[in-house]
C-alpha cells in the first residue's frame, strides 16, 4: 500500500482541501483561532467519550484510508503497544488526533486537519501542494518572506506560530496531563515538511531536534498502521479506558 500519495490520489477533494487550507491559513488567522480556543471553555468531556464521538468523522485530507477516526486512533495505539513502546506513547497514539473534534463542532476541515507548517516565514516548497500558497495573502507581506521571517534562527518551535488545526488544539487540551515528549508529538505530528522532508531546521533548537526523533518514531505507527481492517473497538475499550485513567482525570476541559 502506498501512503501519502498526493500526486496520484483518486480523490480530487484532497487537492481542493489543500487549495483552501493554503489560501486561508495566514498568521493572523492562526493567532485569532489560538486565542479563541485557548480558554478551553467548550465544556468537560471524558477522553474515551471524545474518541467515540470521532467515529462520525472521516478526514478529508487523508488519502490513505476511509476508516473512522476512532478506528485510526486504535490502529495507531495498538501498533505502538505491539512494539512495547512506553505507555505514554501508546496513549499518544490514542489521543493524538482528538483535536479533530473541532470539525464536529462546525469548524471547516481546512482549519482542522491536514499537514501543518510555520507562519510568518517563507512557505517551503517541501510542504504538500505548496503551489497553492500563491493565493495566500502572507506571501505578499515582505517581512514574512525574507530570511527567517519574523523569527530569529534557532528560536525554537515553541515560539513559532504554526498553521491552526487539531494538533495545536489537542496540545492545549492535553498540556496539564502528559509528558513533554507526548505533547511534542501531538503538537508536531502533522508537521511533515520538518520530520519527513527536513524543512525548517533553521527555526529549531537542540531540544526540538531531539524531540523530533519521537515524532519520527511515532510516524511509523500513525501512518504505516493504516489498513482497511477495522480494530475490535469493543474488545479494546477496557484496556484503553484504564490507560486513560492513569494519565487523565474522568473529564477534562475542551
Record the pTM.
0.91
* Lowest mean pLDDT segment, chosen from 8-17, 72-81, 111-120, 122-131: 8-17
Give the pLDDT of residue 76: 96
Coil, strand or helix: which one is 194?
helix
Give the pLDDT of residue 11: 47
Tell me the C-alpha distance between 188 and 217, whole Å. 12
4: left (phi over 0), alpha (psi -120 to 50) or beta: left
Tell whether the model's pLDDT for residue 9 goes beyond 50.
no
Rounded to the nearest integer, the mean pLDDT of the chain is: 92
Burial class for 143, CB neighbours closer than 10 Å (0-12, 13-18, 19+): exposed
Give the pLDDT of residue 119: 98
More confident residue, 217 or 61: 217
Give the pLDDT of residue 55: 84
Q: Per-domain residue ranges for the chain?
A: 12-253
| pLDDT band for position 64 (cuts 50, 70, 90) | low
pLDDT mean over 176-199: 98
Give the pLDDT of residue 140: 98
More confident residue, 223 or 29: 29
Give yes or no for a contact between 11 and 66, defined as CB atoms under 8 angstroms apart. no
| pLDDT band for position 88 (cuts 50, 70, 90) | very high
* CB atoms near residue 179 (< 10 Å): 13
Amino acid at each position: 500500500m502506498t501512503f501519502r500519495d498526493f500526486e496520484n490520489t483518486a480523490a480530487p477533494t484532497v487537492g481542493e482541501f489543500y487549495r483552501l487550507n493554503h489560501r486561508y491559513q495566514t498568521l493572523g488567522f492562526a493567532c485569532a483561532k489560538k486565542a479563541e480556543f485557548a480558554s478551553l471553555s467548550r465544556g468537560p468531556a471524558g477522553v474515551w467519550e471524545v474518541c467515540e464521538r470521532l467515529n462520525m468523522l472521516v478526514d478529508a485530507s487523508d488519502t490513505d484510508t476511509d476508516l473512522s477516526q476512532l478506528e485510526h486512533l486504535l490502529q495507531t495505539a495498538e501498533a505502538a503497544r505491539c512494539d512495547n513502546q512506553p505507555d505514554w506513547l501508546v496513549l499518544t497514539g490514542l489521543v493524538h488526533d482528538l483535536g479533530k473534534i473541532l470539525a464536529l463542532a462546525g469548524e471547516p476541515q481546512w482549519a482542522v486537519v491536514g499537514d501543518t507548517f510555520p507562519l510568518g516565514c517563507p512557505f517551503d516548497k517541501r510542504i504538500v501542494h505548496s503551489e497553492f500558497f500563491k493565493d495566500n495573502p502572507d506571501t505578499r507581506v515582505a517581512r514574512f518572506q525574507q530570511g527567517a521571517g519574523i523569527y530569529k534562527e534557532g528560536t525554537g518551535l515553541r515560539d513559532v506560530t504554526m498553521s491552526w488545526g487539531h494538533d495545536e488544539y489537542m496540545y492545549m487540551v492535553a498540556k496539564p496531563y502528559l509528558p513533554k515528549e507526548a505533547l511534542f508529538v501531538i503538537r508536531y505530528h502533522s508537521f511533515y515538511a520538518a520530520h519527513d522532508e527536513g524543512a525548517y531546521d533553521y527555526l529549531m533548537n537542540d531540544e526540538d531536534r531531539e524531540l523530533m526523533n519521537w515524532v519520527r518514531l511515532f510516524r511509523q505507527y500513525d501512518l504505516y498502521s493504516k489498513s482497511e481492517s477495522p480494530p475490535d473497538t469493543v474488545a479494546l475499550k477496557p484496556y484503553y479506558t484504564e490507560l486513560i485513567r492513569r494519565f487523565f482525570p474522568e473529564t477534562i476541559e475542551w
